[in-house]
Structure 1
Amino acid sequence: MVFTLHSSLWWFAALSAILGVLRCTIHSYYCLVFCERYGPRFPTAFTLFMVVCAVVFLLTGFLTGLVKNYTGSDNMVLYLLTVMCGCCSVSWLIEIVHARTTNKSVHK
Protein backbone atom coordinates (compact mmCIF):
# COMPACT_ATOMS: atom_id res chain seq x y z
CA MET A 1 0.00 0.00 0.00
CA VAL A 2 2.94 2.33 0.58
CA PHE A 3 3.71 2.15 -3.15
CA THR A 4 0.53 4.10 -3.82
CA LEU A 5 1.35 6.80 -1.28
CA HIS A 6 4.80 7.77 -2.58
CA SER A 7 5.97 8.08 -6.17
CA SER A 8 9.65 8.69 -5.39
CA LEU A 9 12.21 6.32 -6.88
CA TRP A 10 13.96 6.05 -3.49
CA TRP A 11 10.80 4.86 -1.74
CA PHE A 12 10.21 2.31 -4.48
CA ALA A 13 13.81 1.06 -4.37
CA ALA A 14 13.90 0.83 -0.57
CA LEU A 15 10.58 -0.98 -0.32
CA SER A 16 11.51 -3.34 -3.15
CA ALA A 17 14.76 -4.20 -1.39
CA ILE A 18 13.01 -4.83 1.94
CA LEU A 19 10.31 -6.96 0.31
CA GLY A 20 12.96 -8.87 -1.67
CA VAL A 21 14.91 -9.74 1.46
CA LEU A 22 11.75 -10.85 3.26
CA ARG A 23 10.67 -12.95 0.28
CA CYS A 24 14.09 -14.64 0.08
CA THR A 25 13.89 -15.43 3.78
CA ILE A 26 10.49 -17.07 3.37
CA HIS A 27 11.50 -19.03 0.27
CA SER A 28 14.68 -20.37 1.85
CA TYR A 29 12.61 -22.07 4.57
CA TYR A 30 10.15 -23.78 2.20
CA CYS A 31 12.55 -26.61 1.47
CA LEU A 32 13.28 -27.17 5.15
CA VAL A 33 9.61 -27.28 6.08
CA PHE A 34 8.74 -29.67 3.27
CA CYS A 35 11.72 -31.89 4.03
CA GLU A 36 10.82 -32.11 7.72
CA ARG A 37 7.12 -32.68 7.08
CA TYR A 38 7.25 -35.15 4.19
CA GLY A 39 10.72 -36.75 4.53
CA PRO A 40 11.11 -39.41 1.83
CA ARG A 41 8.17 -37.99 -0.15
CA PHE A 42 9.85 -34.56 -0.31
CA PRO A 43 10.35 -34.49 -4.13
CA THR A 44 6.70 -35.31 -4.78
CA ALA A 45 5.36 -32.87 -2.21
CA PHE A 46 7.62 -30.03 -3.27
CA THR A 47 6.85 -30.60 -6.96
CA LEU A 48 3.12 -30.49 -6.26
CA PHE A 49 3.63 -27.31 -4.22
CA MET A 50 5.56 -25.67 -7.07
CA VAL A 51 2.91 -26.65 -9.65
CA VAL A 52 0.12 -25.21 -7.48
CA CYS A 53 2.16 -22.02 -6.98
CA ALA A 54 2.66 -21.72 -10.75
CA VAL A 55 -1.07 -22.06 -11.42
CA VAL A 56 -1.90 -19.50 -8.74
CA PHE A 57 0.70 -17.07 -10.11
CA LEU A 58 -0.64 -17.48 -13.66
CA LEU A 59 -4.21 -16.86 -12.54
CA THR A 60 -3.15 -13.90 -10.41
CA GLY A 61 -1.22 -12.42 -13.32
CA PHE A 62 -4.21 -12.85 -15.61
CA LEU A 63 -6.56 -11.28 -13.06
CA THR A 64 -4.27 -8.30 -12.40
CA GLY A 65 -3.92 -7.80 -16.16
CA LEU A 66 -7.70 -7.72 -16.52
CA VAL A 67 -8.02 -5.21 -13.69
CA LYS A 68 -5.27 -3.03 -15.18
CA ASN A 69 -6.86 -3.09 -18.64
CA TYR A 70 -10.36 -2.45 -17.30
CA THR A 71 -9.50 0.35 -14.85
CA GLY A 72 -6.26 1.68 -16.33
CA SER A 73 -5.00 2.21 -12.79
CA ASP A 74 -1.92 0.73 -11.18
CA ASN A 75 -3.37 1.62 -7.79
CA MET A 76 -6.36 -0.67 -8.38
CA VAL A 77 -3.98 -3.54 -9.13
CA LEU A 78 -2.17 -2.91 -5.84
CA TYR A 79 -5.48 -2.78 -4.00
CA LEU A 80 -6.51 -6.08 -5.60
CA LEU A 81 -3.25 -7.73 -4.54
CA THR A 82 -3.68 -6.35 -1.02
CA VAL A 83 -7.19 -7.81 -0.81
CA MET A 84 -5.89 -11.16 -2.04
CA CYS A 85 -3.15 -11.16 0.62
CA GLY A 86 -5.75 -10.19 3.21
CA CYS A 87 -7.89 -13.18 2.22
CA CYS A 88 -4.90 -15.48 2.74
CA SER A 89 -4.17 -13.92 6.12
CA VAL A 90 -7.77 -14.28 7.26
CA SER A 91 -7.92 -17.94 6.17
CA TRP A 92 -4.67 -18.67 8.05
CA LEU A 93 -6.04 -16.94 11.13
CA ILE A 94 -9.23 -19.01 10.96
CA GLU A 95 -7.16 -22.19 10.63
CA ILE A 96 -5.01 -21.29 13.64
CA VAL A 97 -8.02 -20.37 15.80
CA HIS A 98 -9.83 -23.56 14.79
CA ALA A 99 -6.78 -25.70 15.52
CA ARG A 100 -6.29 -24.14 18.94
CA THR A 101 -9.94 -24.40 19.93
CA THR A 102 -10.11 -28.06 18.95
CA ASN A 103 -6.66 -28.82 20.49
CA LYS A 104 -5.29 -30.01 17.18
CA SER A 105 -1.83 -29.19 15.99
CA VAL A 106 -1.67 -26.88 12.97
CA HIS A 107 1.41 -28.78 11.75
CA LYS A 108 0.85 -32.49 12.17
Structure 2
Amino acid sequence: MELTGKQKRFLRSEAHHMNPLVQIGKNGISETLLDQVDELLERRELIKVTLLQNTDEEAKEVAEIFETTLHCDVVQIIGRILVCFRPSSKEKYQTFSTKVRSI
Protein backbone atom coordinates (compact mmCIF):
# COMPACT_ATOMS: atom_id res chain seq x y z
CA MET A 1 0.00 0.00 0.00
CA GLU A 2 1.54 3.28 -1.11
CA LEU A 3 0.89 6.02 1.42
CA THR A 4 0.29 9.66 0.55
CA GLY A 5 1.86 12.54 2.45
CA LYS A 6 -1.33 13.23 4.40
CA GLN A 7 -1.62 9.58 5.42
CA LYS A 8 1.99 9.51 6.61
CA ARG A 9 1.45 12.73 8.56
CA PHE A 10 -1.61 11.21 10.24
CA LEU A 11 0.31 8.05 11.19
CA ARG A 12 3.24 10.07 12.53
CA SER A 13 0.88 12.08 14.72
CA GLU A 14 -0.77 8.90 16.03
CA ALA A 15 2.61 7.32 16.81
CA HIS A 16 3.97 10.39 18.58
CA HIS A 17 2.60 9.40 22.00
CA MET A 18 3.36 5.68 21.66
CA ASN A 19 6.18 3.95 23.48
CA PRO A 20 8.58 1.74 21.48
CA LEU A 21 7.43 -1.88 21.53
CA VAL A 22 10.55 -3.43 19.97
CA GLN A 23 14.16 -2.79 20.87
CA ILE A 24 17.03 -3.90 18.66
CA GLY A 25 20.15 -4.50 20.70
CA LYS A 26 23.57 -6.07 20.31
CA ASN A 27 22.20 -9.23 18.69
CA GLY A 28 20.91 -7.20 15.76
CA ILE A 29 18.13 -8.42 13.49
CA SER A 30 17.29 -12.11 13.78
CA GLU A 31 14.47 -14.34 12.54
CA THR A 32 12.91 -14.25 16.01
CA LEU A 33 12.92 -10.45 16.01
CA LEU A 34 11.37 -10.33 12.53
CA ASP A 35 8.66 -12.78 13.61
CA GLN A 36 7.93 -10.66 16.68
CA VAL A 37 7.68 -7.45 14.63
CA ASP A 38 5.49 -9.24 12.07
CA GLU A 39 3.09 -10.38 14.79
CA LEU A 40 2.99 -6.92 16.39
CA LEU A 41 2.24 -5.29 13.03
CA GLU A 42 -0.59 -7.76 12.46
CA ARG A 43 -2.20 -6.95 15.81
CA ARG A 44 -1.45 -3.23 16.19
CA GLU A 45 -0.75 -1.99 12.63
CA LEU A 46 1.38 0.90 13.91
CA ILE A 47 4.46 0.32 16.08
CA LYS A 48 7.64 2.07 17.17
CA VAL A 49 11.00 0.33 17.01
CA THR A 50 14.07 1.70 18.76
CA LEU A 51 17.71 0.90 18.11
CA LEU A 52 19.71 0.68 21.31
CA GLN A 53 23.15 2.25 21.57
CA ASN A 54 24.93 -1.11 21.69
CA THR A 55 23.67 -2.26 18.28
CA ASP A 56 25.70 -2.15 15.08
CA GLU A 57 22.58 -1.69 12.93
CA GLU A 58 21.80 1.58 11.16
CA ALA A 59 18.24 2.93 11.12
CA LYS A 60 18.06 3.18 7.32
CA GLU A 61 19.31 -0.40 6.89
CA VAL A 62 16.75 -1.68 9.39
CA ALA A 63 14.03 0.25 7.55
CA GLU A 64 15.01 -1.38 4.24
CA ILE A 65 15.03 -4.84 5.83
CA PHE A 66 11.60 -4.30 7.39
CA GLU A 67 10.13 -2.97 4.15
CA THR A 68 11.41 -5.89 2.06
CA THR A 69 10.87 -8.80 4.45
CA LEU A 70 7.77 -7.66 6.38
CA HIS A 71 6.15 -5.63 3.56
CA CYS A 72 5.47 -2.70 5.87
CA ASP A 73 5.88 1.03 5.38
CA VAL A 74 8.42 2.85 7.51
CA VAL A 75 6.54 6.10 8.04
CA GLN A 76 9.24 7.95 9.95
CA ILE A 77 12.84 7.67 11.07
CA ILE A 78 14.00 10.03 13.80
CA GLY A 79 17.50 9.28 15.00
CA ARG A 80 17.34 5.69 16.24
CA ILE A 81 13.54 5.36 16.31
CA LEU A 82 11.46 3.94 13.46
CA VAL A 83 7.69 4.12 13.05
CA CYS A 84 6.33 1.18 11.05
CA PHE A 85 2.84 0.68 9.60
CA ARG A 86 1.16 -2.23 7.87
CA PRO A 87 -2.59 -2.75 7.51
CA SER A 88 -3.81 -5.82 9.37
CA SER A 89 -5.35 -8.68 7.42
CA LYS A 90 -7.85 -9.33 10.24
CA GLU A 91 -10.78 -6.97 10.43
CA LYS A 92 -10.91 -6.84 14.23
CA TYR A 93 -7.40 -5.35 14.38
CA GLN A 94 -7.96 -2.71 11.69
CA THR A 95 -7.99 0.49 13.72
CA PHE A 96 -5.51 2.72 11.90
CA SER A 97 -5.95 1.32 8.39
CA THR A 98 -9.64 2.27 8.23
CA LYS A 99 -8.76 5.86 9.21
CA VAL A 100 -5.85 5.94 6.73
CA ARG A 101 -8.09 4.81 3.86
CA SER A 102 -10.56 7.61 4.60
CA ILE A 103 -7.84 10.29 4.31
Say which structure is richer in helix.
1
Say which structure is richer in strand.
2
Which protein has greater RCO, CA pairs closer than 8 Å, 6+ apart?
2
TM over 0.5: no
Question: Which protein has the larger Cα radius of gyration, Structure 1 or Structure 2?
Answer: 1
TM-score (structure 2 length as normaliser) = 0.32
